[in-house]
């Protein structure tokens, strides 16, 4: 099926990409800050009073960074749809405020233990603003650098999802039903139209889990015309997650992958299990399917095999950074080899 084609507006692009509150941004900020602090400590360690000053510096700089990140997250509704310059101004102001506040808290310790190593309040505020400027500008440059990858992922996904043989098979199945089961033929065509309608939606569109499940069910209904009793599907879903919003076209490609490489390649009945659960503060979607028997002769390998999952991974990385995960591989359940594709998204 074709993936999304419309281009996002600049404000949407900034809001999606500049994710200061994401786990990846937090890790990068703390790693960079600690490397900088380690360098400062090494430079000041040979000096007697400098050692105490370096340790006191550690006592307030990292908490100030965490405070800045928290303030940026709390105020993101004010700046996330603004231009790049406005975001930098807000980040610098909050950086100066955080550094100044924490510095004033430990200033009495500096005065008592290492007066010569103490920083003036204006120096702390300036350092906080400068570090905030550097970090946010880095995130903005990173977002722009990822734009070509985003475009390539969308175009590659579009190419892999327009599958003429799927359209051909669906239309053939519908035409075969027209005379004997006209109502079912109409349903098949309606499902096909809905799949295409969803596929050409706006990039980055969020839909409810319930809507995404409905799309996957429509796809399975179409394929059931072809495979009949050879395909058996079982759902297990946490109903409390149905209204959670997730990126469009994340579940349906996993289900299609199970059909193409499980049911389509097998001469016997294939079980597909679709589980949606809440685990460790994340939505976990798991799609498992029986593997074809060794005696089965697989159909010719078509272009695009595995591409859908790679592109889901790219899209989720752009949206959630390291907070989302997609993996697949062979697992053994009750002594039987099965294929599992798993998706984890932050709540």
Distance CA 228, CA 206 (A): 32
Q: In sequence order, what DSSP letters do the residues of 30-73 get, joined into one string?
A: HHHHHHHHHHHHHHHTTSHHHHHHHHHHHHHHHHHHHHHHHHHH
Task: Examine the domain organization and report whether 136 and 202 are in the same domain.
Answer: no
Report pLDDT for 241. 92
Task: Examine the domain organization and report whether 201 and 226 are in the same domain.
Answer: yes
pLDDT in tens, the chain (347 residues): 434 333 333 333 333 456 677 777 777 788 887 787 777 667 655 555 555 556 666 667 778 888 888 888 888 777 766 677 888 888 899 989 988 888 787 777 655 555 555 567 788 889 888 888 888 888 877 767 665 555 555 545 554 454 656 666 777 777 777 777 778 778 878 887 777 777 766 656 788 999 999 989 988 988 888 888 888 999 999 999 999 988 888 898 899 889 888 888 887 888 999 999 998 888 999 999 998 876 555 554 444 446 677 778 877 877 777 778 888 888 888 778 889 999 999 87
Report pLDDT for 5. 38
Task: Confirm whether 332 is domain-assigned.
Answer: yes
Task: Confirm whether 5 is domain-assigned.
Answer: no
Task: Confirm whether 142 is domain-assigned.
Answer: yes
Based on the structure, what is the number of domains in the chain?
A: 2
Task: Confirm whether 213 is domain-assigned.
Answer: yes
What tokens were used for 340?
A: 């599992």
86, 117, 148 - which closes a domain: 148
Task: Examine the domain organization and report whether 180 and 324 are in the same domain.
Answer: yes
0.85 cut: is pTM over it?
no
- Signed CA dihedral, 178, 182, 186, 188: sign only: negative
Write down the H helix ranges in the chain. 10-17, 23-44, 48-74, 76-79, 84-113, 121-161, 164-177, 182-199, 209-227, 251-258, 307-320
For the chain, first and last CA: distance in Å? Answer: 27
Task: Examine the domain organization and report whether 143 and 167 are in the same domain.
Answer: no
Report pLDDT for 312. 82
Characterize the bridge pairing of strands 231-237 and 336-346: unpaired
Task: Examine the domain organization and report whether 68 and 201 are in the same domain.
Answer: no
121-161 and 307-320 helices cross at what angle (nearest 10)?
A: 160
115, 148, 181 - which closes a domain: 148
Task: Confirm whether 154 is domain-assigned.
Answer: no
232's enclosing H/E stretch is strand 231-237
Contact partners, residue 96, CB within 8 Å, separation at least 6: 125, 126, 128, 129, 132
Distance CA 271, CA 305 (A): 20
Distance of alpha carbon 92 from the chain centroid? 28
Q: Give Cα separations from 335 to 286, 290, 329, 331 (angstroms).
A: 19, 12, 16, 10
Task: Confirm whether 32 is domain-assigned.
Answer: yes
Task: Examine the domain organization and report whether 135 and 197 are in the same domain.
Answer: no
Residue 251 belongs to domain with CATH number: 3.30.565.10
Task: Examine the domain organization and report whether 127 and 51 are in the same domain.
Answer: yes
275-278 contact pairs (CB < 8 A, 24+):
275/235, 275/236, 275/237, 276/209, 276/213, 276/235, 276/236, 276/237, 276/238, 276/241, 277/236, 277/238, 277/241, 278/238, 278/240, 278/241, 278/347
Task: Examine the domain organization and report whether 217 and 334 are in the same domain.
Answer: yes
Task: Examine the domain organization and report whether 141 and 243 are in the same domain.
Answer: no
Task: Examine the domain organization and report whether 103 and 227 are in the same domain.
Answer: no
List the domain range (segments joined by +) for residue 340: 163-346
What tokens were used for 149?
A: 């990858």
Task: Confirm whether 108 is domain-assigned.
Answer: yes
148, 174, 195 - which closes a domain: 148
Task: Examine the domain organization and report whether 97 and 176 are in the same domain.
Answer: no
Task: Examine the domain organization and report whether 211 and 252 are in the same domain.
Answer: yes
Distance of alpha carbon 206 from the chain centroid? 12
Distance CA 144, CA 151 (A): 11
Task: Confirm whether 155 is domain-assigned.
Answer: no
Residues in the chain, total? 347
Distance CA 242, CA 240 (A): 6
């Amino acid at each position: 099926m074709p993936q999304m084609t419309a281009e996002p507006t600049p404000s949407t692009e900034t809001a999606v990409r500049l994710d200061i509150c994401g786990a990846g941004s937090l890790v990068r900020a703390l790693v960079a800050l600690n490397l900088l602090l380690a360098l400062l400590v090494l430079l000041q360690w040979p000096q007697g009073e400098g050692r105490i000053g370096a340790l006191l510096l550690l006592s307030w700089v990292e908490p100030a960074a965490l405070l800045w990140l928290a303030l940026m997250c709390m105020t993101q509704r004010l700046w996330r749809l603004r231009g790049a310059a406005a975001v930098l101004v807000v980040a610098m102001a909050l950086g100066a405020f955080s550094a100044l506040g924490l510095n004033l808290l430990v200033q009495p310790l500096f005065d008592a233990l290492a007066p010569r190593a103490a920083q003036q309040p204006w120096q702390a505020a300036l350092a906080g603003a400068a570090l905030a400027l550097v970090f946010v500008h880095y995130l903005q440059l990173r977002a722009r650098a990822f734009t070509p990858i985003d475009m390539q992922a969308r175009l590659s996904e579009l190419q892999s999802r327009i599958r003429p043989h799927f359209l051909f098979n669906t239309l053939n199945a519908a035409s075969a039903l027209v005379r004997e089961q006209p109502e079912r033929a109409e349903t098949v065509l309606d499902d096909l139209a809905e799949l295409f309608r969803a596929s050409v939606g706006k990039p980055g569109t969020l839909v409810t889990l319930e809507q995404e499940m409905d799309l996957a069910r429509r796809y399975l209904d179409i394929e059931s015309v072809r495979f009949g009793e050879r395909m058996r599907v079982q759902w297990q879903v946490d109903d409390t997650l149905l209204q959670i919003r997730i990126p469009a076209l994340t579940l349906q490609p996993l289900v299609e992958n199970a059909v193409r490489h499980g049911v389509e390649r097998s001469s016997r009945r294939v079980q597909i299990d679709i589980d949606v659960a809440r685990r460790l503060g994340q939505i976990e979607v798991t799609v498992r399917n029986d593997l074809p028997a060794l005696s089965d002769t697989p159909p010719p390998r078509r272009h695009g095999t595995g591409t859908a999952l790679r592109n889901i991974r790219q899209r989720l990385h752009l949206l959630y950074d390291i907070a989302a995960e997609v993996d697949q591989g062979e697992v053994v359940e009750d002594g039987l080899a099965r294929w599992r594709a798993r998706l984890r998204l932050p709540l």
